[in-house]
Chains A and B, each alone.
Chain A
Amino acid sequence: MSEFRSLSLVPKADALQSAKDFKTDQEVRWCPGCGDYAILAAVQSFMPELGIRRENTVFVSGIGCSSRFPYYMNTYGVHSIHGRAPAIATGLAATRRDLSVWVVTGDGDALSIGGNHLIHALRRNVNLKILLFNNRIYGLTKGQYSPTSEVGKITKSTPMGSLDAPFNPVSLALGAEATFVARTLDSDRKHLTSVLRAAAEHQGTALVEIYQNCNIFNDGAFDALKDPAGADRALIRLEHGQPITFADQGVFRDPASGELTVAQVTETNQADVLVHDAHAASPVTAFALSRLADNDTLHHTPIGVLRSVERPVYDTLMADQLATAVEQHGAGELADLLSGKDTWTVV
């Protein structure tokens, strides 16, 4: 059995696997330079670490550039329809607890057309790992603004600028009762892998937002977080149990309002720096952290695991009810069911 608690019912691999085992013979058809390549490579490299049988792994996706992902993973896979991957994966995970089920989706797929399925998967806490590739644009339909695009975005469908306020996917997930919410970057292989690991270990639904560059329609959307000169002042790397600091800055809680603020860390205030508690029962602080980032400049963007708490898993509860029903009534007998209680006989 796997060492990952969330995979305790998944058969363990007989032999060590490598990234190569998870590659298919299909030609990868993303645009050259797309951030999806880096994510694919990171996932393929990470999967052997799970130590489970490849045939017990399933990738389910919706529609969009990111949703081509399953074709490139040498596991079972379903490339479904726009927005519906969480629903399809829910049926699969709820009936097959011996599988490791992953959902690959994008900002349009998960937050626009499929928003309803995403929030309900999160609140149910089905054993799913959802990788949300957020490039803040519609790529496959050639460059319309998305529900994560900044206000005023000039695109083909918004020549005078987009009008609607964007979603913050992490805030949304926290508000939807998610038990695990994390954010990472396509270009930071090490961080991406560590977040995948944490997600895989989580029992229940894990939402991982991956900032992903679309070099054709929204190039450089996350440069502020990647620029070697300035990234350390823009990115807040969260680690459970550690004070939340970056560069010479720290996150503090205003004692009066309870709001989180960013300020320079000094000798006098360093004891007051907020210590990150990903396991806090209340999502309040995680939500406040998710609101620190400036939507336009992306300064003060937290990455890492914002929330990871334990709550009963939907598929486990469902299986428990089935077992309880058998305990209470015995295994179902079809003949008894069909007869019921009120019968009469004609001879």
Chain B
Amino acid sequence: MTSEVDQAETASGGPDAPNGRPAPGAPRRVKPIRRVDRVIIRFAGDSGDGMQLTGDRFTSETASFGNDLSTLPNFPAEIRAPQGTLPGVSSFQLHFADHDILTPGDAPNVLVAMNPAALKANLPDLPKGAEIIVDTDEFTKRALAKVGYAADPLGDGSLDGFHLHKVPLTTLTLEALKESGLARKDAERAKNMFALGLLSWMYHRPTKGTESFLRTKFAKKPAIAEANVLAFKAGWNFGETTEDFAVSYEVPPAKLPPGTYRNISGNLALSYGLIAASQRSGLPLFLGSYPITPASDILHELSKHKNFGVRTFQAEDEIAGIGAALGAAFGGSLGVTTTSGPGVALKSETIGLAVSLELPLLVVDIQRGGPSTGLPTKTEQADLLQAMFGRNGEAPVPIVAPATPAECFEAALEAARIAVTYRTPVLLLSDGYLANGSEPWRIPQVAELPVIEPDFATGPNTPEGEFWPYKRDPQTLARPWAVPGTAGLEHRIGGIEKQDGTGNISYDPANHDLMVRTRQAKVDGIEVRPIEVDDPDGEAEVLVIGWGSTYGPITAAVRRVRADGGKVAQAHLRNLNPFPANLGTVLGSYDKVIVPEMNLGQLALLLRAKYLVDAQSYNQVRGLPFKAAQLADVLWAAIGTLDGSDDDE
């Protein structure tokens, strides 16, 4: 937290009072209020404690308040991991601020720990001085022993450097709900809402949204709905009355560029991008998919929008998912398949077929930790080389990678543009962090969105009045897309090598050589935006370049370095195949190129191979995003090395 402004003893509004104005009927605040410019909160508990829901609600409150924000949900693959254990801990981190921020934050200012496991698992991430709120009811001997605490950390002095709030959350929740008539077990489950209420008080979040959310969510169980609302309010009131919480904090709304905003996660933005691509191309959307974490939410979301003509097909396996999408594409739909790394492996042969058939197809890979099943719920960006090369034969596929959750929207449109214009499968590489993380999104005007022109073949394309399915557009090298039902254009295509032009089966050596080179040239020639370099005064000697979800932490690190007087240039790749035409020049303009990736150096390998540049990797594969401070150190080290070499001269 920086630039704290004490507003001690200033009476301010209650729960519905953004901007410090009391909401009508809201209780008056009687405690000191401190203004801060940003806060990082982490909710942690058992995977059955509802931490993701709690985090989502706090995020929604924060978004509607107008802060900039970034989130990091982090949960185990097991739906209900053994209770009270370290592997069962689920957490949700939220960073919100009165200014533009880029990451969910390195170190929480506040940790809410619902049990000893949550405390133990998250304590190493806390800086000294952080606030810790624990549910003391859960700190039983048995629970402590389960996670290997020999002594109670709440009493042994080990938390001395922190600001510890010992709150009997369970007891207080039960107390608040004793009139509700709910069974103890049901009442206990509302303790996450008590915690949310308390945090909502601490940070002046609007509360109406959560109340109406709870009433809608539990519409069929009004007693549960009211109990949750009651627990939520009790949490708020507890903050206001108990002496343990001496101050509350205010984070004013952020000054974002003008526009209408909403909060959006990567998977939601991607789903909307696909629908937008369908609308802007006039191609009906067909999704063939098999459930897989962390991609399933796109299947769920698109299934809700059948009134947009969206067809979703839950296939028998990954192969059928992409097969059906390709079949739909042959029939003139915008064919899409969504999956994660293991699914891409299964789909490889069909992607190769799509390369050979030269039909538009979107393959969305929400990357997760690998290899094999790996870390299903954790993030990684180690599928780049699979996307690039993971097929038999020379099978080039364009690759698009969004950098932020909101950017998933544009990425879907960009992938669709390339697929349709160039008649090719396109890989869209998102990841678990983008998929589940969220941020404010300036909602675009529909008219601003690009139009995608399918340009279906309508008649013969040779002087003799024949139709040749592989007669290409000389500019784009795209072949005609002739859909069944078009008279006179009946044709057969397949995975066997085809004669240039006619598309008839051909085993001719020279023809195969030509076709392999032509397919490559088509992908190489795809028009993509030049890469932009952020180098404010043009004096940097170090360039840091990344792709995908590392954008946030890299940019935050660059800001830190610059704030401390360091000079560093930054560039971020959205198109990974083909690379932007100016990339070689950009790389060649700096003495040192640093490539941070959540893999073992896959982009760095490509850059070194293609541009003969001594790109230096910085890698982490922990299933979690980089921290800004960590990358800032890397950048300082790179700058320092250059300084050192200057000294030698």
CA distance A343 to B65 in the complex (A): 10
CA distance A63 to B353 in the complex (A): 12
Q: Is the CB of B324 within 8 A of A78?
A: no
Q: In the complex, which of the residues A58, A89, A94, A322 contacts B313, with contact meaning CB atoms closer than 8 Å? A: A94
* A residues near B65, Cβ cutoff 8 Å: 344
* A residues near B263, Cβ cutoff 8 Å: 342
* B residues near A80, Cβ cutoff 8 Å: 323, 326, 353, 494-495
Q: With both chains docked as a complex, state the minimum distance between the C-beta of B582 and any C-beta of chain A, in angstroms.
A: 32
How many contacting A-B pairs (Cβ < 8 A)?
208
Q: Is the CB of A84 within 8 A of B320?
A: yes
Does chain B have a CB within 8 A of A76? yes
* B residues near A340, Cβ cutoff 8 Å: 262
Q: Is the CB of B484 within 8 A of A95?
A: no
A78-B494 in contact given A322-B306, A331-B307, A334-B275 (Cβ < 8 Å): yes
Interface secondary structure of B, over-half rule? mixed
Q: Is the CB of B316 within 8 A of A96?
A: no
CA distance A330 to B357 in the complex (A): 36
Does chain A have a CB within 8 A of B83? no
Does chain B have a CB within 8 A of A53? yes
CA distance A71 to B445 in the complex (A): 47
CA distance A19 to B28 in the complex (A): 87
Does chain A have a CB within 8 A of B332? yes
Does chain B have a CB within 8 A of A56? yes
Q: Is the CB of B504 within 8 A of A92?
A: no
Does chain B have a CB within 8 A of A268? no
* A residues near B504, Cβ cutoff 8 Å: 26
* A residues near B495, Cβ cutoff 8 Å: 63, 79-81
Q: Is the CB of B491 within 8 A of A117?
A: no
* A residues near B335, Cβ cutoff 8 Å: 91
* B residues near A95, Cβ cutoff 8 Å: 284, 286, 311, 327-328, 331-333
A78-B493 in contact given A92-B331, A337-B272, A338-B272 (Cβ < 8 Å): yes
Does chain A have a CB within 8 A of B101? no
Q: With both chains docked as a complex, state the minimum distance between the C-beta of A52 and any C-beta of chain B, in angstroms.
A: 11
A346-B261 in contact given A337-B275, A339-B443 (Cβ < 8 Å): yes
Nearest opposing residue in chain A for B317, CB measure: A116
Does chain A have a CB within 8 A of B492? yes
Does chain A have a CB within 8 A of B14? no
Q: Is the CB of B443 within 8 A of A338?
A: yes
- Restricting to A95-117, which residues have a CB under 8 Å from any CB of B? 95-96, 98-99, 116-117
Q: In the complex, which of the residues A55, A117, A345 contacts B490, with contact meaning CB atoms closer than 8 Å? A: A55
Contact with A along B60-77 (1 / 0, CB 8 A): 100111100000000000
Does chain A have a CB within 8 A of B349? yes
* A residues near B259, Cβ cutoff 8 Å: 345-346
Does chain B have a CB within 8 A of A332? yes
Q: Is the CB of A94 within 8 A of B328?
A: yes
Nearest opposing residue in chain B for A322, CB measure: B306
Q: With both chains docked as a complex, state the minimum distance between the C-beta of B164 and any C-beta of chain A, in angstroms.
A: 34
* A residues near B315, Cβ cutoff 8 Å: 87, 120
Does chain A have a CB within 8 A of B255? yes
* A residues near B490, Cβ cutoff 8 Å: 54-55, 74-76
Q: Is the CB of A94 within 8 A of B258?
A: no
Q: Is the CB of B327 within 8 A of A91?
A: yes
Does chain A have a CB within 8 A of B19? no
Contact with A along B243-278 (1 / 0, CB 8 A): 000000000000111111111000000001001100
Q: Is the CB of B485 within 8 A of A84?
A: no
Does chain A have a CB within 8 A of B435? no
* A residues near B350, Cβ cutoff 8 Å: 81, 84
* B residues near A247, Cβ cutoff 8 Å: none
Does chain A have a CB within 8 A of B44? no
Nearest opposing residue in chain B for A73, CB measure: B492
Nearest opposing residue in chain B for A123, CB measure: B316
Q: With both chains docked as a complex, state the minimum distance between the C-beta of B274 and any C-beta of chain A, in angstroms.
A: 11
Q: Is the CB of A343 within 8 A of B443?
A: yes
Q: Is the CB of B323 within 8 A of A84?
A: yes
Nearest opposing residue in chain B for A318, CB measure: B311
Does chain A have a CB within 8 A of B7? no
Q: With both chains docked as a complex, state the minimum distance between the C-beta of A314 and any C-beta of chain B, in angstroms.
A: 9
* B residues near A81, Cβ cutoff 8 Å: 349-350, 352-353, 495
Nearest opposing residue in chain A for B288, CB measure: A91
Q: Which residues of B contact A (CB under 8 A)?
A: 60, 63-66, 209, 255-263, 272, 275-276, 279, 284, 286, 288, 305-311, 313, 315-317, 319-320, 323-333, 335, 349-350, 352-353, 357, 443-446, 484-496, 504-505
CB<8 Å pairs between A and B, sample of 18: A57-B484, A59-B492, A78-B494, A87-B323, A88-B326, A90-B313, A95-B327, A96-B484, A117-B320, A117-B323, A120-B316, A318-B313, A322-B309, A335-B445, A338-B443, A339-B443, A343-B443, A344-B65
Q: Give me the 6 closest cross-chain CB pairs, A-B, nearest first.
A: A79-B494, A91-B327, A91-B324, A87-B323, A332-B308, A325-B306
